[in-house]
């Protein structure tokens, strides 16, 4: 595992060197290099969106437009196509000289605008990036610029690309595991066939090597939860790496998703905690009273920081793999030379293969650490 993380750090450094390495370009070519925004390209591909882009350019491409669901003086639903094919707003430049581009919705989306995949309500028919703020000292109103619009936002419950990917992953898990469950219910403890033949080793691994090994004799109660989070993370990690899925969603690279998974583990741990567990947090046995008072808030904070570490680990590792692959591909466009493909394409392929292993490892680690936290919560006192 440490070898994989070391390899990721090495390739991250290599990407940075190659991007900023002076190429064999002329001064004219250098000017063209600056026009390609590799950071913007990477963020566009790993970020969420209100459309599922399949192929082609922005104007002549093929996309699946997802439903917009807003609560703003009532329920409003319409297609995101009204934004992506809407009217571009007037060019707005902030105090740093950065141009702000946004789209004003048309038809049912009129009265709203989209900026960096966020939906805002228009004020006087436009999106505003500055507002008058009264200075506390001089009492004079000053124009203050913002990186994001200052307009109000409606309650947004839209089906985005990540939400659709989550539904797809959930349905896929239900179909696969229900098929395996029906096989064993019908045939009993026999040699597995079909999907059961491939998944039995993973199910037994979660049961014996994760749940039973870390929780103890109470493990059966928590096996369904551990199996759910393991297969949810593993399958969605793989869906994010499928090369033939155009515009594949980066679901487990979305920190909101990893936050929910971490909170779920925290809640299971907290509500499973017995008297011994809470006693070691609020009043540690065998410790002087002044030290107990000092350690109590630290131990209580640990209840939150442990699942927080789960959230960051999954989010950072899955996002890093996508970023490195896109950065290697971006080198070709930065240098405007197809010969860079001889380096970047094989390296991208290598990282993609490495990500297959990381997809499994992150699911395994999340489930294993969750079982460790639960095991500590249900452990009985030792005498």
Residue pLDDT, tens place only, 195-225: 888 899 999 999 999 999 999 888 999 999 9
Residues 352, 358: Cα–Cα separation, whole Å: 10
Rounded to an integer, the average pLDDT of 319-337 is: 82
pLDDT at 185 over 80: yes
Residues 88, 104: Cα–Cα separation, whole Å: 6
pLDDT at 284 over 70: yes
Residues 80, 164: Cα–Cα separation, whole Å: 14
Q: Specify the pLDDT at position 369.
A: 94
Q: Specify the pLDDT at position 287.
A: 74
Torsion of CA 182, 185, 189, 195, to 10 degrees: 0
- Domain ranges for the chain, please list them: 55-158, 161-378
Q: Which of 37-51, 73-87, 103-117 shows the lowest per-residue confidence on average (mean pLDDT)?
A: 37-51
How far are the Cα atoms of 174, 208, 336, 362 from residue 368, in angstroms, in the given order? 22, 11, 45, 10
pLDDT one-digit tens code per residue, 124-150? 888 888 888 877 777 777 877 788 888
pLDDT one-digit tens code per residue, 152-162? 999 999 999 99
Q: Binning pLDDT at 50, 70 and 90, where does residue 278 land?
A: confident
Q: Specify the pLDDT at position 97.
A: 65
Q: Kindly state the tokens that stand for 242.
A: 């499928």
More confident residue, 11 or 107: 107
pLDDT one-digit tens code per residue, 231-251? 999 999 988 887 545 556 788
pLDDT at 194 over 50: yes
Q: How many CB atoms lie within 10 A of CB 383?
A: 3
Cα-Cα end-to-end distance for the chain? 36
Residues 324, 64: Cα–Cα separation, whole Å: 27
| 373 phi, psi to nearest 5 deg | -65, -45
Whether the CB-CB separation of 232 and 367 falls below 8 Å is answered with no
Q: Kindly state the tokens that stand for 277.
A: 């567990």
pLDDT at 24 over 70: no
Q: Which of 23-32, 37-46, 60-69 shows the lowest per-residue confidence on average (mean pLDDT)?
A: 23-32
Q: Specify the pLDDT at position 352.
A: 81
Q: Specify the pLDDT at position 7.
A: 52
Q: Specify the pLDDT at position 12.
A: 52
Q: Specify the pLDDT at position 258.
A: 94
pLDDT at 16 over 70: no
Q: Which residues pair with 162 in a beta bridge?
A: none
Rounded to an integer, the average pLDDT of 344-365 is: 88
């Amino acid at each position: 595992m440490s070898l994989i993380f070391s390899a990721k750090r090495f390739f991250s450094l290599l990407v940075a060197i190659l991007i900023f390495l002076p190429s064999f370009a002329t001064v004219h070519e250098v000017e063209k290099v600056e026009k390609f925004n590799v950071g913007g390209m990477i963020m566009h591909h790993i970020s969420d969106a209100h459309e599922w882009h399949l192929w082609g350019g922005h104007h002549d491409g093929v996309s699946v437009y997802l439903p917009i669901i807003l609560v703003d003086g009532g329920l409003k639903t319409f297609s995101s196509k009204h934004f992506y094919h809407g009217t571009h707003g007037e060019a707005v430049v902030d105090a740093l000289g950065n141009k702000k581009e946004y789209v004003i919705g048309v038809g049912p989306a009129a009265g709203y605008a989209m900026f960096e995949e966020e939906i805002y309500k228009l004020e006087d028919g436009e999106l505003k990036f500055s507002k008058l703020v009264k200075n506390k000292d001089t009492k004079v109103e000053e124009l203050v610029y913002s990186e994001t619009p200052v307009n109000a936002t409606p309650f947004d419950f839209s089906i985005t690309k990540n939400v659709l990917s989550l539904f797809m992953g959930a349905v896929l898990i239900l179909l696969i595991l229900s098929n395996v469950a029906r096989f064993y219910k019908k045939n009993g403890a026999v040699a597995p066939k079909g999907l059961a033949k491939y998944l039995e080793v993973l199910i037994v691994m979660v049961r014996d090597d994760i749940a039973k090994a870390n929780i103890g004799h109470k493990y059966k109660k928590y096996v369904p939860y551990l199996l759910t989070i393991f297969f949810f993370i593993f399958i969605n990690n793989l869906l994010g790496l499928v090369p033939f899925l155009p515009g594949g969603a980066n679901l487990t690279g979305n920190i909101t998703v990893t936050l929910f998974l971490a909170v779920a583990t925290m809640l299971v741990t907290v509500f499973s905690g017995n008297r011994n567990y809470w006693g070691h947090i609020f009043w540690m046995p065998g410790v002087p009273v002044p030290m107990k008072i000092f350690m109590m808030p630290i131990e209580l904070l640990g209840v939150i920081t442990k699942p927080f570490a789960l959230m960051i680990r999954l989010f950072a590792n899955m996002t890093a793999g996508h970023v490195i692959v896109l950065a290697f591909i971006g080198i070709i466009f930065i240098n405007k030379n197809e010969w860079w493909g001889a380096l970047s394409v094989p390296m991208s392929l290598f990282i993609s293969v490495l990500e297959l292993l990381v997809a499994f490892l992150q699911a395994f680690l999340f489930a294993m650490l969750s079982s460790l936290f639960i095991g500590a919560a249900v452990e009985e006192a030792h005498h």
